[in-house]
A and B are shown apart, each in its own frame.
Chain A
Amino acid sequence: MYQALYNLTSNTIISTLIVALVPLTLILLYALFAIWLERKVSAHMQDRLGPMRTGWHGWLQTIADMIKMIQKEDTIAADADKKLFNIAPVLVFAGSFAAFAAIPFSSAIIGSEIEVGLFYIIAISSLVVAGILMAGWSSNNKYSLLGAMRSAAQIVSYEIPTALVVLTMVMYTGTLSLDKISQQQTAYFWNWNLFGGPEFGLAKFILIPFMLVAFIIMFISTLAEVNRTPFDIPEAESELVAGYFTEYSGMKWGMFMLSEYANMFAVSSIVSILFLGGYQSPFGYLGNTLGIEWLVPIEQLFWFVSKTLFFVFVQMWLRWTLPRLRVDQLMTVCWKYLIPYAVANLIIVGIVTLL
C-alpha cells in the first residue's frame, strides 16, 4: 500500500501519513467499540442494561461521547505547566498507537515486519510512563501527582516480569519477530506455545506447565501495565479522584481514554501472539480446504481479533469483579511473587529447551 501510494505521489511524507491514517482509524473504531462494550459488559454483569437510548442498544453511545468531548471547553488550570500539560496526552496516545505498527494482524496485514518487533513494542510502550509523569506533574494537582508517581512505579516494576516472560519465549522460539512467532505455531491449537509449541516430543509435555506459569505471569503483569483493576491504582477512583488525568477535560482526556483502550488491545494481542498462536486458526483454514487463496488472511484476521477481544473481555470481566489492591501490595505482588517465579521459569524453560 505504501509502495502504491509512493508511486502515485512520489512523496515519502504524504504517503507515510496516509498509510498511518489507516491503523489510526481502525484503532479509533476499535476504541469506540471497546468503550461501548465495556459499558454493556459492566451493565449486564450488574443487572442493568447500560446505554439504551442512542441507536440500537446504545451502539452510538461512544460516538455521542466523542462528539460531545470535542465540543467541550479545554480548561487548563492557571498554575499548570502548559507545555507539558498539552504534550502529555499526545505522548501517551503516540506511545500506545506506535505499538500497533509491529503487530501482525494476519500474515498479510502487518504494519512493519521488523525483526525485533517484540523488543520494539516493549520499548515504545514505555513512552507512556513519560507521558503519565508529565501529565501528573504539569497538572499542579496533588491527586494527579500522587497518581502519576504510583503509575510510574507500577509500570516500571511490572515491565520486569513482562520482559522476563518475553525473554523466556524469545529463548524458546529463537526469534524476536512477532510474525515469525505466529508462523511457528501454525496448524492446530496443540501447536500453540501455551501447549508446549509445535515440536512434538517429550520436551513439549514437560514444557506445558511452565508455559502455563509464564502465560499467567504475563497476563497479570500486562493487566498491571495497562492500569486495569485490580491494578488500577494510578487512577483509583475512590482514593485519587481520577489519578493523573484529574485536571484534563474534553478531548485531551479523551486521548487518555482512547490510549487506555488501545493499550488493552495491544497487550492482549501480544499475549495471544506469544501463547495462543496469534493469527493462527486453531482448526486449520477454510480457505486452504476450499482452495480459496484470499480467504486465508481474512480468516487469520478473524482469529486474531477474536483471540485478542477475548482477552480484552477478560480484562473487563476482572475489572467489574475484583476490588483494588493497595499500592504497597501491588509492589509486593510484583517483586516478591511474579519476578522470582518468572526468573525460575526462565531458567527451567532454558534448560528444557537446551536439552
Chain B
Amino acid sequence: MGILDKEFSDGNIVITKVEDLFNWARLSSIWQLGFGLACCAIEMMATSASHYDFDRFGVIPRNTPRQADAIIISGTVTLKMATRIKRLYEQMPEPKYIISMGSCANCGGPYWNHGYHVLKGVDRVIPVDVYVPGCPPRPEALLEGLLKLQEKIRHESLTKKQA
C-alpha cells in the first residue's frame, strides 16, 4: 500500500491519470530482494543473468529489504526459515509484492507429505500475489509470473473500493 493508495473516495480525471502514472512507475521498476532459498534460486539467478535478463523489465536485485519492492520466494520454506521470511517481509516498505516461485513455496512441493520441517506453502505466513508453478520453474515461467504481477499492479487504484 503506497502513501496515496485508497485515499480518495471518488475517481475524477486527475486521479485516474495520476493513478495510471503511479501504476506505470510501480510496474516498470519492481526491484526484487536479492534473496535465494533453494534450487529455484539458481533459476532465479539464471533469470537475472545474461540469457534471460531480468533487467529488461527494470528488475534489479537489492540486498536490503528496505529498498526492495518485491520478494521472490525462490524455494522451499522451512519452519526455521519461515519466521525470518516473515521478518523480511515486514521490513519491506509498502507497496510490496510477493512472487511465490516453485512448487515448494506454493504448497510444499515434493515435501508435502513427509517434510516434517517444511512449511507447506509460504502463504501460511505471508500474503502472495503471484504463484509460479514448476519444480523448478523455467526462467520463462518466472518472467511470465513477473508479467502477471505487472498486470495486477496495472489495475491498482487510488480510490477506495465502493461497498
Contacts and interface: CB of A to CB of B under 8 A. Distances in A.
Contact between chain A and chain B defined by CB under 8 Å: yes
Contacts of B60: 39
Interface string A44-86: 0011111111100010110111111001111100000000000
Contact of B50 (A48, A75, A242): A48
B53 A54 contact: no
Contacts of A249: 66-67, 93
A68 B63 contact: no
B62 A68 contact: no
A50 B66 contact: no
Contact of B63 (A46, A65, A237): A237
Interface residues on A, range: 20 to 34
Interface in B1-30: 1-4, 21-22, 24-26, 28-29
Interface string A25-57: 000000000000001000100111111111000
A52 B57 CA distance: 7
B69 interface: yes
B62 A242 contact: yes
Contact of B22 (A43, A65, A67, A75): A67
Contact of A67 (B21, B67, B69): B21
A247 B93 CA distance: 11
B123 interface: no
Contacts of A74: 93
B67 A242 contact: yes
A49 B22 contact: no
A72 B24 CA distance: 14
Nearest to A143: B64
Contacts of A64: 24-25, 28-29, 58
A256 to B, nearest CB: 10
Given A46-B50, A64-B28, A67-B25, 10 more contacts: A48-B56, A53-B28, A53-B56, A61-B58, A64-B29, A64-B58, A65-B25, A68-B26, A71-B22, A247-B64
Given A71-B4, A248-B67, A250-B93, A54 B50 contact: no
B58 A54 contact: yes
B56 A71 contact: no
Contacts of A242: 62-64, 67
B129 interface: no
Interface residues on B, range: 20 to 34
B146 to A, nearest CB: 11
B26 A247 contact: no
B2 A71 contact: yes
A313 interface: no
Interface string A226-257: 00000000000100011000111110010000
B40 to A, nearest CB: 21
B58 A51 contact: yes
Contact of A72 (B55, B63, B94): B94
B95 interface: yes
A61 B64 CA distance: 21
A75 B3 CA distance: 12
A65 B27 CA distance: 10
B58 to A, nearest CB: 5
A246 B64 CA distance: 6
Nearest to B53: A48
A169 B91 CA distance: 49
Nearest to B28: A64
